[in-house]
Every structure is written in C-alpha cells, then in structure tokens.
C-alpha cells in the first residue's frame, strides 16, 4: 500500500469513482464535500448510462438555429436574459465549435469517456453492495416518424462511427415495444447494451460507504484553497481546518472553476441549468429508458417513479427555479404520454458543468500535483467511473491505453 495521501474534492460520481480507484491502487484517500454526496448534478440527471452520448450539443448549424430556439417557447432551451451579458464571452467560445470538424473531434473524445460506460460502472461496483443500483437495458430514441429520424442523420452517423448501430422499430410494433407510447410515436431507434441507475443519489451514497469500508475517509467541509510549496500541493485549506495531502483531485462540477482560479487557471466553464420532474406512483412506465426526440427529454423508470429530464436553461447559479422550463416539460410529457397519471411530483433544478468545448478536463494542472476531473456537461453519470479510473492511473504513474490528450486541462492556459 502507498503511504501517499490523496484528497478528492467533490463527492459526485466522478469524485467518488476517483476515490475508489485511488484506494484500490493503494493510496490513502480523503473525500471532501461541503454537501451530501451524490446530490448535485450526479443526482438530477436522466439516470441513463448512455454509452452512445458521443455527440455534443454544438453540432453544425447550431449558430444559425439558436435565435429561433431561444425565441420559441415550445423548444426546451431557455435563457434568463438578465444573465446574458455575463454569458456572452463563454457563449462566443462555445458557438465557435458548432461546425462539422470540431463536432467530429469532440465526438471522438466523448467516445473515450462514455463508450464503455456500462462496463465501467460494473467494474467500479464489482462485488460490492452498490452493484444493486446498476441495471442493464436498451436505450431507445423515440421519433414521431421516419422523416424525423432521418433529420438526425448526422447525429446517427457519428453514433454508428462510434459503434452504436440502432435497430429500427416502426408502426404498430412501437406500441408492442413500449406500450406507454401512442400512435404519435411511429419509430423507435433502439440501442442494446446500455443501462440505467435505479437511483443516482442513493447509488453515489452507497459508493461512499464502499469507499469507507475500504479504509477511505469522507469529510464534510468546504475547500477554500490549496497550500502550495515550490508549486506543489501539500495541503488543502477547508472550513474545518487544513488537511494535508500529497496529491489532490478537483471533481466539484461547476464549483471547480474558483478552485482552478486559485491555481492561476481561468476555465471557460458555465452552469447549464438542468431540470427534471419525477412523477411518483405513475400509472405507466417505459420498459427501457427513452429519449423523446419530439420533446428533447429522457424518460426513465427509476425507484422513485418516472423521471423525465432534459430541459436546458442558461442563467447562472441562482437557486430560483424558472416556471417556463418546468411548464414546457409537463406539456411535452402530457403530449407524448397522454394516458399517464400519477399521485405527486418532485421538481429538481441543478447545474451541469459545461466547458466551452464540451470536453471534460482530466489531468494535472502544470506540475502541481492537483488533478482536474470535472466539466462533464451531459455525460457525468455515464462517464464518471471511466474518468475516475483515468485519474487514478495518472496519479499512480500507469500508462493509459486511452487517448487522453483531448481532456488536457492546460488547453485553457492563456500563458502557454
């Protein structure tokens, strides 16, 4: 066992996976978070292990289409307009990647992180109690008709190039596959060997228990700064005092940005405000997770009920929920699942960490001993275990067979 101590900052799926893989590699590990493990973006997603999520939002044509998206109250993209002046610098960088060359480059990077997501979750949980939360399933993309599917041809081309070839189900067979649907959905593009997490929050909390059973520690505290000596980390300063370490991992999602600034790195990272609704005790559930193309949301049967997630809003870190995104999500759910009834609802708002180039940051900040592991945008739940494994390999000095160059955090170093 190594005598080196690693502090992991942030107890979402990425941080907990990093901590477990580091502990397995023999390091003394302390996991730190100011909140409850797993209750940020790792909780509020669509629950899907979406191995095929290899296509960034910034596809070709987005720049041309964006004005109509933002002014269309029936499209699931919203803006808190008072925040727009602060968003513009990031938005310019973000939109600069909305072309085919960058989209293909980003897609290859995302494939590295999520392409074997189900397998990586199984490796992370192994024979532990946390394995009970991981379920294998199909993942279906539901379209109104063949024309709507064909309109997504570029997206499906990228998925096929990554190894994800759909089985197409059309007409009345759609209802046989998914009885929750009606005739307003005429095509399902079904991908095998995906999965979902029965309850992401409980899953991550269970993984923290696994870490503790392995001899790792969880500390509830807020990390304020790094203590550096000769440019190398020797401790982190927290709300409960200084905690010494030989290495540190920053996996705090959107809250990683101010910690990077402490190291002189200004990351173009914005909060994408994500919403979901859990319909409790639903009268119907899908047999497998589905992406509803007509409503741009994911519907997943999980232990709390039917979770529908996918609305996007830009507007910073204010905790106030906007009414329009939730209203549109309810409207789309009613249109696509008209027979659905339920007893109650849970609403959620959280913050997805969105780098301007849609690729996570994974790697060491200069030669500081501080490693980035954040910025997963829409792929955090799926890609968390793989990211944690890569970080543990880097800190252990093991060479990875994966091409990790796209995730180099120093790509944002203005002083290079």
Q: How far is residue 78's CA from residue 81's CA, in Å, rounded to a whole number?
A: 9
Residue at token pair 């990211």:
387
Total-model pTM: 0.95
| Domain range annotation of the chain | 5-412
Yes or no: say if 292 and 299 are a contact pair by the CB < 8 Å rule: yes
Yes or no: say if 367 and 223 are a contact pair by the CB < 8 Å rule: no
Give the containing element (helix H, strand E) for 121: helix 117-125
- Widest Cα–Cα separation across the chain: 68
Q: What is the dihedral of CA 366, 384, 200, 225, to 10 degrees?
A: -10
First to last CA, the chain: 37
CA 16 to chain centre: 14
Question: pLDDT digit of tens for each residue in the chain (416 aa)?
Answer: 567 999 999 999 999 999 999 999 999 999 999 999 999 999 999 999 999 999 999 999 888 887 777 777 777 788 899 999 999 999 999 999 999 999 999 999 999 999 999 999 999 999 999 999 999 999 999 999 999 999 999 999 999 999 999 999 999 999 999 999 999 999 999 999 999 999 999 999 999 999 999 999 999 999 999 999 999 999 999 999 999 999 999 999 999 999 999 999 999 999 999 999 999 999 999 999 999 999 999 999 999 999 999 888 999 998 889 999 999 999 999 999 999 999 999 999 999 999 999 999 999 999 999 999 999 999 999 999 999 999 999 999 988 889 999 999 999 987 65
- List of E strands, 198-238: 217-220, 223-229, 232-238
CATH code: domain 5-412 is: 3.50.50.60
Q: Kindly report, residue by residue over 306-323, the tens digit of the pLDDT.
A: 999 988 899 999 888 999
Q: How far is residue 415's CA from residue 217's CA, in Å, rounded to a whole number?
A: 36
Q: How far is residue 347's CA from residue 391's CA, in Å, rounded to a whole number?
A: 33
Q: How far is residue 39's CA from residue 191's CA, in Å, rounded to a whole number?
A: 29
Q: How far is residue 253's CA from residue 17's CA, in Å, rounded to a whole number?
A: 14
């Amino acid at each position: 066992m190594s005598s080196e101590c690693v502090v992991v900052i942030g107890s979402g799926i990425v941080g907990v996976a990093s901590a477990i893989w580091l502990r397995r590699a023999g390091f003394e590990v302390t996991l730190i978070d100011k909140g409850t493990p797993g209750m940020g973006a790792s909780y509020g997603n669509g629950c899907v292990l979406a191995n095929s999520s290899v296509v960034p939002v910034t596809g070709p044509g987005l720049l041309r289409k964006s004005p109509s998206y933002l002014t269309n109250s029936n499209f699931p993209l919203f803006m808190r307009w008072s925040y727009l002046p602060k968003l513009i610098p990031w938005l310019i960088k973000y939109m600069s990647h909305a072309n085919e060359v960058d989209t293909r480059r980003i897609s290859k990077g995302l494939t590295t992180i999520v392409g074997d997501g189900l397998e990586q979750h199984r490796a992370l949980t192994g024979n532990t109690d946390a394995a009970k939360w991981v379920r294998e399933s199909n993942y279906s993309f539901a379209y109104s008709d063949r024309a709507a599917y064909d309109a997504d041809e570029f997206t499906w081309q990228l998925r096929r190039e990554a190894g994800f070839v759909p089985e197409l189900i059309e007409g009345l067979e759609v209802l046989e596959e998914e009885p929750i649907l009606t005739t307003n959905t005429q095509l399902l593009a079904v991908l095998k060997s995906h999965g979902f997490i029965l309850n992401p929050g409980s899953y991550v909390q269970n993984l923290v228990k696994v870490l503790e059973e392995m001899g790792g520690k969880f500390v509830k505290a807020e990390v304020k700064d790094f203590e550096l000596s000769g440019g190398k980390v020797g401790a982190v300063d927290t709300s409960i005092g200084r905690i010494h370490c030989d290495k540190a991992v920053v996996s705090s999602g959107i809250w990683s940005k101010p910690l990077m600034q402490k190291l002189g790195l200004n990351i173009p990272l914005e909060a994408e405000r994500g919403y979901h609704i859990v319909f409790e005790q639903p009268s119907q559930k899908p047999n497998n997770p589905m992406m509803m193309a007509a409503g741009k949301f994911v519907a997943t049967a999980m232990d709390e009920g039917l979770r529908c997630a996918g609305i996007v809003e830009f507007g910073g870190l204010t905790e106030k929920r906007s009414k329009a995104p939730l209203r549109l999500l309810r409207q789309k759910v009613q249109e696509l699942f008209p027979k659905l009834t339920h007893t109650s609802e849970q609403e959620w708002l959280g913050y997805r960490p969105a780098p301007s180039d849609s690729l996570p940051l994974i790697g060491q900040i200069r030669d500081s001993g501080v490693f980035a592991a954040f910025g997963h945008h829409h792929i955090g739940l799926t890609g968390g275990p793989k990211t944690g494994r890569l970080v543990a390999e880097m800190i252990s000095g093991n060479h990875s067979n994966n091409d990790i160059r796209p995730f180099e955090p120093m790509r944002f170093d203005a002083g290079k």
